[in-house]
Amino acid sequence: MTKILLSFGHGYSARALTRLLLPEGWQIHGTTRSDDKAEALSAAGVTPHLMPGEDLGPLIDSASHLLISAGPDAEGDPVLRLWRDRIAANAARYDWVGYLSTTGVYGDHGGGWVDEDTPLTPSTRRGKWRVEAEAAWQSIPGLPLHIFRLAGIYGPGRGALSKVRSGKARRIIKEGQVFSRIHVDDIAQVLAASIARPNPGAAYNLCDDDPAPPQEVIAHACELLGKPLPPEEPFETAEMTPMARSFYAESKRVRNDRIKRELGVKLLYPTYRDSLGAMLEQENDRSR
């Protein structure tokens, strides 16, 4: 029987999962808000659907799997606003539903460790929206929901190497600040592992093994590329957008034991050093 994935908000992480599923014969349907992105999805083997506007009801009825990447806003989850009743009516027949959330739901822990059992105490507006969205999806009876709390996402075209090359890299120093991060290919393999081993109701942290200060990651990227280090900028006086500054409102180290224990995942890139070096080597191989 053909497996059909309906992916709401088919972006960077969902595209990485697509590259794993399409060779296995899956049908992938992805929503987007842009005609240009719809063309790109089609070129990648994904059937695009413009949202809002298109009637997704028949697809919601026929899909075997759902992936939700679209983020919430002040009015709640955009997918549930449009399609909650239709999804709820089909809840029992789905094989798997995945919701991509964020480790921002845990709030600030002063650099301390958190895991999936840590209480959700978000300190930012976006984090609070995510907690509310998680709860809204969890409230649908019988839905085989899996929640994936993603740390900072990076990969080809996104992250420290790209920032250094573009001249946009900065070393903003805030004492004690650490971030967890995750390569997009590791997100894809965790999602694929969960699809293969469903555990409805589970929540998983997606991050690597090496939470680190952001300035250290930039410094390593500069070293790999042979570029000079950007000057240090104290957080207190650095010019930043409100969005960028809000990321520094929380500092925590995120544990990933559950994806290894329950899903058998072995990270492709357990540290940023592994991934940045491998990404640069892959780029050099393609250019030869």
Tokens of 195: 């699809």
Q: pLDDT class for 275, splitting at 50, 70, 90? A: very high
**Of 184, 193, 181, nearest to 247 (Cα)?**
181
Q: 4-154+180-207+256-268 adopts what CATH topology?
A: Rossmann fold (3.40.50)
192: confidence class by pLDDT, cuts 50, 70, 90: very high
Mean pLDDT of 15-30: 97
> What confidence tier does 286 reach under pLDDT thresholds 50, 70, 90?
confident
Q: Which residue has the higher pLDDT, 286 or 258?
A: 258
Mean pLDDT of 60-70: 97
Read off the pLDDT band of 6 (50, 70, 90): very high
Q: Using one digit for the tens of pLDDT, what is the confidence trace for 88-143?
A: 999 999 999 999 999 999 999 999 999 999 999 999 999 999 999 999 999 999 99
Q: Model's pTM, two decimal places? A: 0.96
Give the residue-averaged pLDDT of 245-252.
92
Q: Residue ranges of the domains in the chain? A: 4-154+180-207+256-268
Residue 200's pLDDT band, with cuts at 50, 70 and 90, is: very high
Mean pLDDT (whole number) for 22-40 = 94
Task: Please give the average per-residue pLDDT across 277-284, as a whole number.
Answer: 89
Q: What is the mean pLDDT of the chain?
A: 95
Distances (CA, A) of 105 to 17, 244, 252, 278: 23, 17, 11, 30
| Residue-level pLDDT at 152 | 96
Instruction: Say if residue 1's pLDDT is above 80.
Output: no
| Residue 281 pLDDT > 80 | yes
CB 79 within 8 A of CB 68: yes
- Interval 209-213 mean pLDDT: 97
Phi and psi torsions of 131, nearest 5°: -60, -45
- Pick 249 or 100 by higher pLDDT: 100
User: Using CA atoms, how far apart are residues 28 and 33, in angstroms rounded to an integer?
Assistant: 17
What's the confidence (pLDDT) of residue 160?
95
pLDDT at 8: 97
Does pLDDT of 288 surpass 70? no
Please report, rounded to a whole number, the percentage of residues in the chain having pLDDT higher than 90: 91
Query: Per-residue pLDDT averaged across 212-225, rounded?
Result: 96
